[in-house]
């Protein structure tokens, strides 16, 4: 568990405007928010608004231009095992089977062999892959491969879980099934999660709060608390009211 604090965060990219002049592209400026311990927060917005860039900065994979990121009061200066990351691409090691992929992070964390075997099996069971421990990624469906990625991220028991469009490459039916699975897993683990998506319904279904990132440079234009009981009915009138509010927030700031 952990608290993720984003404070005054800005990101600019430099590019050549001419042979002797540089141009600065400001992606977003002065972004501030906190993901509380055990909270599920989602950032949504149109493509190109900087959602993934922000998450990569929280992961320590992209340097900040200004501002700060803290996890449990400690500054984020680069990648670390205090953060588990799940990307849209499955990013599994094809030469390792399911259990081997889940064990990978635990070995990097120097967890003793007996303990890491127990932990790996615990999280394989948690993502409903019991019986598939010895399967290699090429034998698994897209949804199953993403479950392996989730188990690997959870197994290191990070302070925060960062998820960047994790179901974006899946077909609609599998995506909905994975949303249900993630909701069930989060209800059991209460991990701190920062989640990126462009899917409004996915954001409402999963989140405690939804932040809308929009504009150029981007800013948080709406913070929406999702005060619906779980599990949530996607066709509940209150669910659809929230969906409309988010659609208006994104549409009203389209560029």
Domains of the chain plus CATH, in order, are 1-16+24-82+192-255 (3.40.50.300)
Six token digits for residue 160: 């925060």
| Confidence (pLDDT) at 106 | 92
Q: Is the model's pLDDT at 168 over the cut of 70? A: yes
Q: For residue 104, which of 211, 94, 202 has the smallest C-alpha distance? A: 94
Q: Is the model's pLDDT at 17 over the cut of 70? A: no
Distance CA 8, CA 178 (A): 33
Q: Is the model's pLDDT at 1 over the cut of 70? A: no
3-state percent helix, strand, coil for the chain, nearest multiple of 5: 35, 30, 35
Q: Is the model's pLDDT at 19 over the cut of 80? A: no
| Confidence (pLDDT) at 25 | 82
| Confidence (pLDDT) at 127 | 94
pLDDT tens-digit series, residues 44-76: 998 888 899 999 999 999 999 999 999 999 999
Q: Is the model's pLDDT at 254 over the cut of 60? A: no
CB count in 10 Å sphere of residue 12 = 14
On the CB side of 231, how many CA atoms lie within 13 Å of its CA? 13
Q: Is the model's pLDDT at 18 over the cut of 70? A: no
Distance CA 83, CA 160 (A): 5
Q: pLDDT grade, residue 162 (50/70/90)? A: very high
pLDDT tens-digit series, residues 189-226: 999 999 999 999 999 999 999 999 988 888 999 999 99
């Amino acid at each position: 568990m952990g608290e993720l604090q984003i404070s005054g965060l800005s990101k600019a990219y430099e590019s050549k405007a001419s042979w002797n002049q540089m141009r600065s592209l400001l992606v977003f400026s002065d972004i501030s928010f906190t993901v509380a311990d055990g909270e599920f927060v989602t950032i949504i917005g149109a493509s190109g608004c900087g959602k993934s860039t922000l998450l990569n900065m929280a992961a320590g994979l992209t340097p900040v231009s200004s501002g700060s990121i803290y996890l449990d009061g400690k500054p984020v200066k680069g990648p670390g095992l205090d953060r588990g990351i799940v990307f849209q691409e499955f990013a599994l090691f094809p030469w390792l089977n399911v259990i081997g992929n889940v064990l990978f992070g635990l070995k990097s964390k120097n967890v003793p062999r007996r303990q890491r075997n127990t932990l790996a099996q615990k999280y394989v069971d948690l993502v409903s892959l019991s019986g598939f421990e010895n399967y290699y990624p090429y034998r698994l469906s897209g949804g199953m491969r993403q479950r392996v990625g989730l188990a690997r991220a959870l197994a290191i028991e990070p302070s925060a879980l960062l998820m960047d469009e994790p179901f974006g490459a899946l077909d609609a039916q599998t995506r909905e099934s994975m949303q249900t699975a993630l909701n069930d897993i989060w209800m059991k683990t209460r991990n701190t999660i920062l989640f990126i998506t462009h899917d409004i319904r996915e954001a409402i279904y999963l989140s405690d709060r939804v932040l809308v990132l929009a504009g150029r440079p981007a800013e948080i234009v709406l913070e929406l608390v999702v005060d619906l009981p779980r599990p949530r009915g996607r066709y509940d009138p209150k669910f659809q009211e929230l969906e409309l509010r988010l659609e208006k927030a994104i549409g009203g700031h389209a560029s």
